[in-house]
Each structure stands twice: as structure tokens, then as C-alpha cells.
Chain A
Amino acid sequence: MTDRPGWLESSVDGDRLILVGGGCWTFDFAASLDLALKALPPETRRVEFQMAQLDAFDTAGAWLLRRTQEEFEAGGASVSISGVAAVYAPLFQLVIEAEKDHPEIDRAYVNPLVAALNRIGLMVFDAAREGANLLNFLGLVIVTLARSLASPRRLRPTALVSQIEQTGFNALPIVGLLLFLIGVVLAYQGADLTRQFGAEILTVDGLAISVLREIGVLITAILVAGRSGSAFTAQIGTMKVNEEVDAMQTLGLDPIEVLVLPRVVALLITLPLLTFFADVAALLGGGVMVVFALDISFVQFVHRLHDVASLKQFLVGMVKAPVFAFLIALVGCYEGLCVGGSAESIGQMTTKAVVESIFLVIVADAAFSIIFSTLGI
């Protein structure tokens, strides 16, 4: 198989172009043979291929021979091929047949600028359609939710409790640890600033207000989006690929009711609870930092915290939690149901779900800030 490389010799005899080919006309030497064949003079009346010295011939070699023959014939030349061994005749015939069914083999040239514009256009179009579909899905979920609330047995307590465990209870360690550390960081940064004014006690004010109003709920929501939103997409997407969702529909089960509602309701319950836990953890972290690094006792810290951390500040943060929860669950479930065909699309949709839900959470947070500042809260 790896004997002599394929070769081609050309000579001109009057108006005849004589091409003698030999060696291995196979995949291994296709690239060099291709170059040799492309370099032949196109202006020829008669072409003779003498292929008696072939050692090996495969579909690549057969294709090159056939293609060259066609190119010469298209230029008005007469082409004769002789000496191809009888054992290769079926192969050559197969290639001729296949090529006949398949006249279009050239790759269309696309201007890169046009391609880039096309891509941007498609992305904008996709984003708009995605937004519309998400709104549609929102409506569907709300209608189903309303119907289920009318007959609460449809809320499927087992699935709901299981989802609460997965999205809430199991998230406690990571949320607690992360927010504790963020509390430490916030207090440390705040202390640097307040120390310059000699008003170190104000560190507690900064800590309490930022944690309660923004940081607690935002970081928790982002964590939950990465942890549970992606899980929703992956779980529902796997069921979609296995056709379980289709099976559900044929059995008269509503996928929105069975798959989406328990997740949405579970997150609506757990995200506010996690936010409360996160607030406590962050304040604790900040408190530890303040007590150890600054000249403030624990009693002073608690006293100051009690003055600053009013119910209003707490509620301003808390009121966002159910909204964020709804957005995360909605996007996670929606992308899961958008999974189609292959296992690869589960991965793509999961990534998309996380990015979209974090984006929407931050947009919603910005909207809340504007509303609160307009209302003077």
C-alpha cells in the first residue's frame, strides 16, 4: 500500500497531450497528484491517459482522473483513458455514477463582510424572537399556575418538596460560605475608607445597607442561577432528548404543570429564604471582620447594626428575591424545553440559560434601583 508514490508524466505529440500515470493513485498521494493535474495546459484538442502502470487505485485517484477528464471535455477536448486494470473497473464506474448524481460539489464563496453582517442580523433576530418566546412562556406559566392554585392538589407536593431540597436546602453551605466571605471583604474595604475620617463605626452602616439592599439578594440570585437554573435546563433538556417530554404529553400530562411549576414554585419559596440566610451570613462575616480588625466591640457592632438595619432596608432587598427567583426558574425551564435533537444542545442551552438568567437578574435589579430612587425609598 505504501509502495511507489503516484506520478504523472506529460508529453506533447502534435496536437495530442499524452499523460502517463502510475504508482499509487490513492489518498496518500492525492494532494500531489491534484497539483500535477491542475497544472496541465487547458488548451488541448486530444488527451490520452495511459494508466497501465498503476500499482494502486482508490476513490481519491479515481475521482482525480474523472475530474480531469471532465474538465478537458468541458474545454472541447476528446479524452481517452486506457490501461486501467480490469479489477479497478467497478470502482471507476462507481465514481462515475456517484459523480453523475452529484453535479454540485463546489463550495460557494461567501464574502466575509457579508457573512459577518448576516451573522449579526441573525443574532439580533434570534434575540428578538427569544424575547417574544420567553414572554409567551411567561404567560403560559402564569395561566397554568393560576389554574393549579385553584385546585392545589395539582401542585404535586412530592416534586415540589424535592425541588425545594435541591435548590434551597442543598445550596445552604455554598451560599453561607460565599456570603460570609463577601461580608468580610465589604467590611474590610469599608473600614479602609472610614478610618481616614476617624469614623470607623460607619463601617457597620455601609456593611448593613449594602448587604441588606443589594449584595445579599444579588449574589444569592447569581449563585442560584448558576446552580439551579442550569440544573433545570439540564434536567428538562435530558428528558427532552430522551423523548420523555413527548411521552408525558401523549399520556395526558402537561409538561408545564409537571416539570415547570414545581421548579418555579420551589424557587419562589427558596430564594427569599436563601436571601435571608445570605444576609445573616454576610452580616456575620462583616461583624467578625469589624470586631477583630477595628477597635469596635461586638456589643457596639450589634448596637449600631440595630440602629442602621431597619426593616425597610431589609424589605427593599427581600422584595426583589421572588422576582429574581421567577426570572431564573422561567429562563431555566424555558431553555430546557428548547433543547432539541442532540445531547450537544443540552450543553448549549444550559450555558444560554445561565447567561440569560444572570443578565435578566441584573437588568431587573437596575429597574428596582430606579423605581426605589424615584419613590424615595
Chain B
Amino acid sequence: MADAPSETTTQEDSVIRVTGLRTQFGAQVIHDGLSFSVRRGEVMGIVGGSGTGKSVLLRTILGLNTPRMGEIEVLGQNTRTITNALKRRCGVLFQDGALFSSLTVAENIQAPMREHLKMPQYLMDELAALKIAMVGLPPDAGPKFPSELSGGMRKRAGLARALAMDPDIIFLDEPTAGLDPIGAAAFDNLIHELQKSLGLTVFMVTHDLDSLSAICDRIAVLVDKKIRLGTMAEHMRDPHPWIQEYFHGPRARAALKDDIPAVV
């Protein structure tokens, strides 16, 4: 978001571009020739059954796994040669926050600032307090340790750390898993608000149909080692049996009150 206005207005430029990605563990092929791109400023949701490699895809884009074949570009840079400058422009929220347990919430948020920039302590304190307020944590959360927070608060603290350096892209791994429906809805709302205000691109793995329908612009479904991209309405017309079951099962019907008829 720290870019000139001219860049944010061109909607079509893609911030993540994956071409011909193949991921393999031993003889087991997880992804076979995935190609897709994520546009600047959109919210992309990734769904798929257990073991289809949603988290693996996320980790591969982040450069934590090396792909067997194919290229991944994040913000125009190949992830095989990932740099610290690029890492600064990506924020990640891991499933349970992955907060450093020996640091307080405020210190967790300051960790990337301390690492990448030279800033006076009071300014880092001010900025950490600002981020804490931005993610809706109470002011007294700053000096607490992660173990003293509830699951929902840890997620918010993790989000604050992911947003610490004002990244262009944030990656979320099941952000609403383990939250109660009200907490999950509030978290969806928070992500949506921040995404709009900060002009973020969001790439999130989720199983939460409410999140998918509420905040995702496009949804990528991982089936048969391939990816299918589309909006919610497009997926609902997809005849693939798994996708049909996913978007038309009883849980999906409860989450989506629209009456888009099933194909089968």
C-alpha cells in the first residue's frame, strides 16, 4: 500500500504469479502443474479437502518449501531468490499465531521493525500500540505474553505482527479456525476493514464458508492436484462432484442464503 496511487489503480497487475507449479514429497504428487495469479488488492480464498496441499501451497509461495518444478513470482520477484526486502512486503498469520513465546505481544510486533530498521524505542512502542489498537486488542494486551492470551486474542496479535511493517500482501492460514462463530465473524470483518483501509492483497487458506462468502473476491479450489479459480457463483455451477458437495452441502446451504441451484 506504500506505493504511488497510479499503481493501485491498475487492477489487473498480479502480485502473485504461479506458473506450472509441481510439488512432490517422495513419490506423492501434491500439486501437478498449478498456474494462477492473484491480483493486487483482491482477497483470494483457497479451499480443498484435507491433504490437497492448501497449507503446502501457502508455504511454497512463502519460500518455505521448494517446488519440484515451476516458477513462483511474488511482487515480480522469483521466490527461489527471496530477499529480505521481499519478506518485509509479505505478512503471514500462521494457524495458531506462531507468536514468539518468550516475547510480549508488543515485542512480537516490534521484532520485524527491530530487525529491519533502526528506530528509537519510543517510536516502536507507539507504533506497536497503534497496531494493537488496529487489530482490536485491548491496550493492556501489549505487555502480555502469548500464553496469557485466549486463542482469539492470539490470532489478533498474530495479525498485528503480520501487519507490523505495512506489507503489501498478507497470507492467512485458517484465520478463523478454532474461533467461535461470533469471534470468527468479527475476525472476518476485521480482515475486510484492514484490507480496504490498507489496500492489502489477502491470500487465505480457509475452511470457513462464511469467510469465503463474506470477504473473498475469488476462490481457488484445489481438486485433483489442480486448481480451479472463480467467484463463489461460478464455483457453484461447476459440475465437479467434490466442488458440488462442498458448495451445496448442508453446511454450505446454511452459510449461503442465496438460492443458486445445483447443477446435478
**Cβ < 8 Å to A, chain B residues 1-55:** 1-5, 8
Q: A210–B92 Cα gap in the complex (Å)?
A: 61
Q: Does B139 make an interface contact (CB < 8 A)?
A: yes
Stretch at the interface among A86-94, A111-119, A125-133: A86-94
A137 close to chain B: CB less than 8 A: no
Q: Do B117 and A27 touch across chains, with their CB atoms under 8 A apart? A: yes
| Among B2, B118, B120, B145: residue with most chain A CB under 10 A | B2
Q: Give chain A residues whose Cβ lies under 8 Å from the Cβ of B264.
A: none
B120 and A55 contact, CB distance less than 8 A: no
Q: A105-B125, A107-B125, A342-B146 are in contact. Are A59 and B130 (CB under 8 A)?
A: yes
Interface centre among B120, B131, B134, B163 (most CB of A within 10 A): B134
Chain A binding surface SS class: helix
Which of B193-201, B208-216, B246-254 is found at the contact surface with chain A?
B193-201
Point out which of B116, B118, B197 has the most chain A C-beta atoms below 10 A from its C-beta: B197
Q: Are B127 and A59 in contact (CB under 8 A)?
A: yes
Instruction: Give the chain A neighbours of B236 by CB distance below 8 A.
Output: none
Q: Which residues of A contact B131 (CB under 8 A)?
A: 59
CB distance from A57 to the nearest CB of B (A): 7
Question: Residues of B contacting A27 with CB < 8 Å?
Answer: 113, 116-117, 165-166
**Smallest CB–CB gap between A60 and chain B, Å?**
6
Contact digits for B129-165, partner A, Cβ 8 Å, 1 yes 0 no: 1111110000100000111100000000000000101
B245 touches A (CB below 8 Å)? no
Which of A96-104, A213-221, A290-298 binds B? A96-104
The answer to whether A341 and B130 have CB atoms under 8 Å apart is no
From B1, B117, B148, A31 is in contact (CB under 8 Å) with B117
B84 at the A/B interface (Cβ < 8 Å)? Answer: no
* B198 vs chain A, min Cβ distance (A): 6
Output the nearest chain A residue to B193 by Cβ-Cβ distance: A94
A96 to chain B, nearest CB (A): 10
**Do B4 and A95 have beta carbons less than 8 Å apart?**
no
The minimal Cβ–Cβ distance linking B103 to chain A, given in whole angstroms, is: 10
Q: Mark A54-72, 1 if CB is under 8 A from B, else 0.
A: 0111111001000100000
Asked if B126 is an interface residue, CB under 8 A from chain A, the answer is yes
Q: A105-B125, A107-B122 are in contact. Are A94 and B102 (CB under 8 A)?
A: no
Residues of A within 8 A of B89 (CB): 1
Q: Are the CB atoms of A102 and B133 closer together than 8 Å?
A: yes
**Docked pose: A103 CA to B165 CA in angstroms:** 22
Q: Which residues of B contact A95 (CB under 8 A)?
A: 130, 134
Q: Are B139 and A60 within 8 A (Cβ)? A: no
Q: How far is the CA of A93 from the CA of B198 in the complex (A)?
A: 10
Q: Are A102 and B132 in contact (CB under 8 A)?
A: yes
A340 at the interface (CB under 8 A from B): yes
Closest approach, in angstroms, between the C-beta of B137 and any C-beta of chain A? 9
Q: Is there a chain B Cβ closer than 8 Å to A343's Cβ?
A: yes
Are B198 and A94 in contact (CB-based, < 8 A)? yes
- By a CB distance below 8 angstroms, the chain A residues around B163 are 59
- Please report the C-alpha to C-alpha distance between residue A94 and residue B165 in the assembled complex, in whole angstroms: 16
B119 within 8 A of A: yes
> Whole-angstrom distance between the alpha carbons of A93 and B193 in the complex?
12
Is there a chain A Cβ closer than 8 Å to B123's Cβ?
yes
Residues of A within 8 A of B199 (CB): 87, 91
Please classify how large the interface on chain B is, using the bins under 10, 10 to 19, 20 to 34, 35 or more: 35 or more
Q: How far is the CB of A107 from chain B (nearest CB, A)?
A: 5
Instruction: Decide if B127 touches A60 in the complex (CB within 8 Å).
Output: yes
Interface residues in A160-182 (C-beta closer than 8 Å to B) = none
Measured CB to CB, the closest approach of chain B to A51, in angstroms, equals 13
Report the bound CA distance from A105 to B127 in whole Å: 9
- Given A63-B127, A85-B5, are A91 and B198 neighbors across the interface (CB < 8 Å)? yes
B83, CB-defined interface residue at 8 Å:
no
- B166 cross-chain contacts in A, Cβ below 8 A: 26-27, 58-60
- Cβ of A257 within 8 Å of any chain B Cβ, yes or no, is no
Given known contacts A67-B126, A94-B134, A342-B146, is B118 in contact with A31 (CB within 8 Å)?
A: yes
CB distance from B256 to the nearest CB of A (A): 28
Q: Report A-chain residues with C-beta under 8 Å of the C-beta of B198.
A: 59, 90-91, 94
Q: Are A342 and B127 in touch, CB under 8 angstroms?
A: no
Q: Are B130 and A63 in contact (CB under 8 A)?
A: yes
Query: In the complex, what residues of B have CB within 8 A of residue A19's CB?
Result: none
Asked if A30 meets B119 with Cβ closer than 8 Å, knowing A85-B5, A91-B198, A342-B147, the reply is yes
A344 to B102 Cα, complex, angstroms: 7
- Does A200 belong to the interface (CB within 8 Å)? no
Minimal Cβ-Cβ distance residue in B for A102:
B133
In the bound assembly, the distance between CA atoms of A24 and B3 in angstroms comes to 9
Q: Which residue of A lies closest to B113 (CB)?
A: A27
B4 touches A56 (CB 8 A): yes
Q: A57-B2, A107-B122 are in contact. List 10 more A-B contacts (CB 8 A).
A: A24-B2, A31-B119, A55-B4, A58-B2, A59-B130, A59-B166, A95-B130, A102-B139, A344-B101, A344-B147
Question: Which A residues form the contact surface with B (CB < 8 A)?
Answer: 1, 24, 26-28, 30-31, 34, 55-60, 63, 67, 85, 87, 90-91, 93-95, 98-99, 101-107, 340-345
Query: Can you give 30 A-B contacts (C-beta < 8 A)?
Result: A26-B166, A27-B113, A27-B116, A27-B117, A31-B118, A31-B119, A58-B2, A59-B127, A59-B130, A59-B166, A59-B198, A60-B127, A63-B127, A91-B199, A94-B198, A95-B130, A99-B130, A101-B133, A102-B129, A102-B130, A102-B132, A104-B129, A105-B129, A105-B139, A106-B122, A107-B125, A340-B147, A341-B148, A342-B101, A344-B101
Binding site for A on B (CB under 8 A): 1-5, 8, 89, 101-102, 113, 116-123, 125-127, 129-134, 139, 145-148, 163, 165-166, 193-194, 196-199
